[in-house]
Structure 1
Amino acid sequence: MKAPTLENNRVKLSLIDLSNFKQLQTIAQEKDLIHYSPSDISTPDKLRDYVQVAVDGYYHKSIIPFIIYDKEKQAYAGSTRFGLINWKNKVLHIGWTWIGHKFQGTGLNKNIKFLMLQYAFETLEFEKVEFRIDERNQKSRRAVEKLGAKLEGILRKDTVMKDGFRRSTCCYGILKEEWPTIKEVLSKNIDF
């Protein structure tokens, strides 16, 4: 599997690996950056382990992990990935997304998600894209709802967090047949 580079005028997504993840060490240590995630990237070693899991998943064809470069700010901004890729059923998840605080609310994330959705539906020709979000994470829930994703259900207390709390996970989805309409709406706010 060859990793794609996804890019427009605003952002470039390229494969994250053990040769480039250090570009994110400062951002990864920002306070409350991934508060709603069961992952831990708070130290250089934990960030390396996080990336190693993604790299291993890439070689097993279940993950395509990206490092995010913000072309407007000319800086690395964070990470995202396709995960839980089910090649047989043509379903994958977009998630594990974190961007530094100074990049949030700038339109960067919308550009990232647009490129990823476009690749999933138009290049991979997948049938469905899913997003899994902590029920408490209202900011991320609003963001995927603005993309046009539909809430499909809530998995109650299904994930143990770093502090031992059992979170409930909201499951959102976009179907292939919904993509043309969503693409048209999103295209009005994307930097091609």
Structure 2
Amino acid sequence: MNVSTLENQRVKLSLLDLNNYKHLLDIAKQPHLVYYSPSKIDTPEDLKTYVKTAIDDYKHKTAIPFIIFDKQTNSYAGCTRFGLINWKNKVLHIGWTWIGTQFHGSGLNKHMKFLMLQYAFETLEFDKVEFRVDERNIKSRKAVEKLGAKLEGILRKDTLMLDGFKRNTCCYGILKEEWNDIKNGVFDGF
């Protein structure tokens, strides 16, 4: 696991660590940024705890967390990660993604996801990439579907949210054998 940077003409994903996460403090304060997540990031202490957890998972080879730099605006935009990495079964999740509201709808997310999917399938040679999305988060569900991911099922009341609500989680997946068609269709021109 020697990845340090994934990069294209629009975005640079670098390993998230305790030296660079402070670039995200102002973004993490934006209201409702992670409304559909069981994570709390809106205070400096909460964000640091969130990052420490991601770093710990990286050390245990179960996650690869990234800080997102938008080259178009020359600014940090948020973070994302590979998580729940199962090296034996060659399955991982892409998630824990949040970007500032000023980046929503800008195409940044699509560029990030392309880099991550390409790395997962072409470099790591994994067999499957999964996405888990709160059933109520229609915007994120549509974004994942636009990437070519297929809804595989819904886990009912499986995640406890900060407000005590038990959410249903939509499970999406992309298989390695689907990647070339997705790359040539959804990401044509990248």
Q: TM-score, normalised by structure 1?
A: 0.98
Residues 165-189 of structure 1 show CA distances to partners (whole Å, capped at 9, x for unaligned) of 0000000000000000000013325
* Aligned equivalent of 1:186: 186
Query: Helix, strand or coil: the match of 2:4?
Result: coil
* Aligned equivalent of 2:168: 168
The one-letter code of the counterpart of 1:171 is: C
* Aligned equivalent of 1:25: 25
| Contact persistence 2:67–2:79 (CA under 8 A) | yes
* Aligned equivalent of 1:138: 138
The one-letter code of the counterpart of 1:38 is: P
Distance 2:189 2:20 in 1: 30
* Aligned equivalent of 1:159: 159
Query: Helix, strand or coil: the match of 1:96?
Result: strand
The one-letter code of the counterpart of 2:98 is: W
Distance 2:116 2:185 in 1: 15
Offset of 1:26 from its aligned partner?
Answer: 0.1
Distance 2:189 2:52 in 1: 34
Offset of 1:133 from its aligned partner?
Answer: 0.2
Distance 1:65 1:57 in 2: 9
Residue 54 (structure 2) pairs with residue 54 (structure 1) = yes
Distance 1:186 1:15 in 2: 26
Residues 66-125 of structure 1 show CA distances to partners (whole Å, capped at 9, x for unaligned) of 000000000000000000000000000000000000001000000000000000000000
Distance 1:82 1:166 in 2: 24
Offset of 1:2 from its aligned partner?
Answer: 1.9
* Aligned equivalent of 2:6: 6
The one-letter code of the counterpart of 2:128 is: K
* Aligned equivalent of 2:177: 177
The one-letter code of the counterpart of 2:127 is: E
Q: Which sections of structure 2, spanning at least 5 residues, go unmatched?
A: none
Distance 2:2 2:39 in 1: 26
Distance 1:4 1:55 in 2: 13
| Contact persistence 2:148–2:186 (CA under 8 A) | no
Query: When the two structures are aligned, how many residues end up with a matched partner?
Result: 190
Residue 112 (structure 2) pairs with residue 112 (structure 1) = yes
The one-letter code of the counterpart of 2:34 is: I
Identity %: 69
* Aligned equivalent of 1:40: 40
Query: Helix, strand or coil: the match of 1:187?
Result: coil
Residues 127-173 of structure 1 show CA distances to partners (whole Å, capped at 9, x for unaligned) of 00000000000000000000000000000000000000000000000
| Contact persistence 1:114–1:186 (CA under 8 A) | no
Distance 2:140 2:79 in 1: 15
Q: Which sections of structure 1, spanning at least 5 residues, go unmatched?
A: none
Distance 1:22 1:117 in 2: 27
Query: Helix, strand or coil: the match of 2:186?
Result: helix
